[in-house]
Amino acid sequence: MNSLIKKLVRGVKPTEQEIQEMLYEICDNVHASCDDTCPVYEINRHEPLNPCRENLGCACFKNGKAMYDFIRRS
């Protein structure tokens, strides 16, 4: 994440891949405990994203691309 902050400060736009990797890292750090550290959780009204069934976890779990796509659609 530090390298992303350095890029932003220098005015360099991060790539989609870099953002997806950062999102993955956020999810990996938070893991299944989901909290507002995760932008998907925060955007989804403080609930894991699960469009299918209850109690199966987040549909974006450890998937930076899915997280990126969800945030873009929101």
Look up the pTM and report it. Answer: 0.84
Q: 22-68, pLDDT tens digit by residue?
A: 999 999 998 778 899 999 999 998 888 875 555 567 889 899 999 99
- Judging by beta carbons within 10 Å of its beta carbon (0-12, 13-18, 19+), is residue 26 exposed, middle or buried? middle
CB contact at 8 A, 59 and 51: yes
Q: What pLDDT score does 31 carry?
A: 75
Confidence bin at 73 (pLDDT 50/70/90): very high
Number of other CB atoms surrounding residue 23 within 10 Å? 23
